[in-house]
Chains A and B, each alone.
Chain A
Amino acid sequence: KNQVEQSPQSLIILEGKNCTLQCNYTVSPFSNLRWYKQDTGRGPVSLTIMTFSENTKSNGRYTATLDADTKQSSLHITASQLSDSASYICVVSEWGYQKVTFGTGTKLQVIP
């Protein structure tokens, strides 16, 4: 069964600090991996999308990395802001198949 595991489950950091969220998956064959940000009570919004051949991709203060050999991805947030407080969800798609597998998310809280 395809799985996507995220860690940590929750995280509290001080404003201005950096943090890294982890995503491990077993989905095969792999198509792409996406990181989403979900504010409370809202729909997820895409941050980055990475295919097999991409190792890193940035979106402002967000940088995602992908190691397709070890099936691991990370999302690094630089110089965190209060508005970064949200859930971050890792989503992995199987090649040629539109059913995707969602991680349970990491809930990030940035405090002053």
Chain B
Amino acid sequence: DGGITQSPKYLFRKEGQNVTLSCEQNLNHDAMYWYRQDPGQGLRLIYYSQIVNDFQKGDIAEGYSVSREKKESFPLTVTSAQKNPTAFYLCASSMIGTGGTEAFFGQGTRLTVV
């Protein structure tokens, strides 16, 4: 089945540690995105990538890093510089094109700092 997969579903991190969230898609989509969702707030864009080996900062990129070595994969690293990393993280992918482009989302990773 085609889709977008995030792992793990739940992740616990100690303060000061870096953690990496996985996002894989087999939809042959060019663009991939990472969003953060906090309770009572909308999704906020962290990073996005439109092509392999290229990515752009979103609205809240500080404390995060990404890579896009393969079209199918867009891992997100939450670094120790991120002051408040506890949140629900969503990965999405979409085709590049004109109007009508739809984004598909993964099931999310809930990160908790302990």
Contact = CB atoms under 8 A, between A and B. Distances in A.
Contacts, number: 63
Task: Give the interface size bracket for B toward A.
Answer: 20 to 34
B90 A95 contact: no
Nearest to B30: A98
A43 interface: yes
Interface in B32-65: 33, 35, 40-45, 48, 50, 58
A46 B4 CA distance: 14
A41 B88 CA distance: 8
Given A43-B108, A89-B43, A104-B42, A98 B99 contact: no
Interface residues of A, number: 26
Contacts of B108: 41-43
Most buried by B among A34, A44, A49: A44
Interface string A70-82: 0000000000000
Across the A-B interface, the 4 shortest Cβ-Cβ residue pairs = A43-B105, A104-B42, A51-B99, A102-B43
